[in-house]
Amino acid sequence: MEKIVRTKVVDLLKSDVFDTSVNVKGWVRTKRGNKNVNFIAINDGSCLANVQVVVDVVNFDEDTLKKITTGACLSVNGKLVASQGQQKCEILATDIKVLGEADPNTYPLQKKGHTLEFLREIAHLRPRTNTFGAIFRVRHNMAMAIHDFFHKRGFFYFHSPIITASDCEGAGQMFQVTTMNLYDLKKDEDGSINYDNDFFGRQASLTVSGQLEGELAAMSLGSVYTFGPTFRAENSNTPRHLAEFWMVEPEVAFNEIEDNMDLAEDFIKYCIQWALDNCMEDLTFLSDMYDKDLIERLHFVVDNNFIRLPYTEGIKILEEAIANGKKFEFPVYWGADLASEHERYLVEDHFKCPVILTDYPKEIKSFYMKQNEDGKTVRGMDVLFPKIGEIIGGSEREEDLEKLTTRAREMGVPEKDIWWYLDTRRFGTAPHSGFGLGFERLLLFVTGMSNIRDVIPFPRTPKSAEF
Ligand code: 4AD
Ligand code: MG
State the pLDDT at residue 217.
Answer: 98
Across all residues in the chain, what is the average pLDDT?
96
State the pLDDT at residue 235.
Answer: 86
State the pLDDT at residue 168.
Answer: 79
Q: Residue whose CA is closest, atom 30 of ligand 1? A: 241
Q: Residue whose CA is closest, atom 4 of ligand 1? A: 393
Ligand number with the minimum distance to the CA of 338: 2
State the pLDDT at residue 99.
Answer: 98
State the pLDDT at residue 363.
Answer: 96
State the pLDDT at residue 87.
Answer: 83
State the pLDDT at residue 97.
Answer: 98
Helices (H), 122-251: 130-152, 211-221
Ligand 1 atom with the smallest distance to the CA of 383 is: 17
- Closest Cα to residue 281, out of 13, 8, 53, 7? 13
Query: What are the pocket residues of ligand 1 if the criterion is a CB atom closer than 6 Å to any ligand atom?
Result: 168-169, 209, 211, 232, 234, 241-242, 245, 247, 249, 390-394, 434-436, 438, 440-441
Model's pTM, two decimal places? 0.97
CA distance 288 to 341: 27
Q: Measured between alpha carbons, how far is residue 361 from residues 195, 310, 371, 377, 381 in Å?
A: 36, 10, 10, 4, 11
**Percent of the chain surpassing pLDDT 90:** 93
Across 89-108, average pLDDT: 97
- Determine the 3-state secondary structure of 300 from DSSP: helix
Across 200-210, average pLDDT: 96
Ligand number with the minimum distance to the CA of 369: 1
Residue 313 CB-half CA count within 13 A = 12
- Determine the 3-state secondary structure of 117 from DSSP: helix
Please answer whether residues 213 and 221 qualify as being in contact, where contact means their C-beta atoms are separated by less than 8 angstroms: no
CA distance 137 to 390: 24
- Closest Cα to residue 389, out of 355, 366, 363, 350? 355
Residue 84: pLDDT band with limits 50, 70, 90: confident
CA distance 152 to 464: 39
State the pLDDT at residue 166.
Answer: 87
Q: How far is the CA of 367 from the centre of ligand 2 (A)?
A: 13
Across 274-302, average pLDDT: 98
Between 293 and 187, name the one with better pLDDT.
293
State the pLDDT at residue 434.
Answer: 98
Ligand number with the minimum distance to the CA of 233: 1
Between 201 and 235, name the one with better pLDDT.
201
pLDDT tens readout for residues 135-171: 999 999 999 999 999 999 999 999 999 999 988 787 7
State the pLDDT at residue 111.
Answer: 76
On the question of pLDDT at 311 being above 90, the answer is yes
State the pLDDT at residue 188.
Answer: 87
CA distance 166 to 453: 28
Please answer whether residues 126 and 135 qualify as being in contact, where contact means their C-beta atoms are separated by less than 8 angstroms: no
pLDDT tens readout for residues 221-265: 999 999 999 999 988 899 999 999 999 999 999 999 999 999 999
Residue 318: pLDDT band with limits 50, 70, 90: very high
CA distance 326 to 319: 9
State the pLDDT at residue 27.
Answer: 98
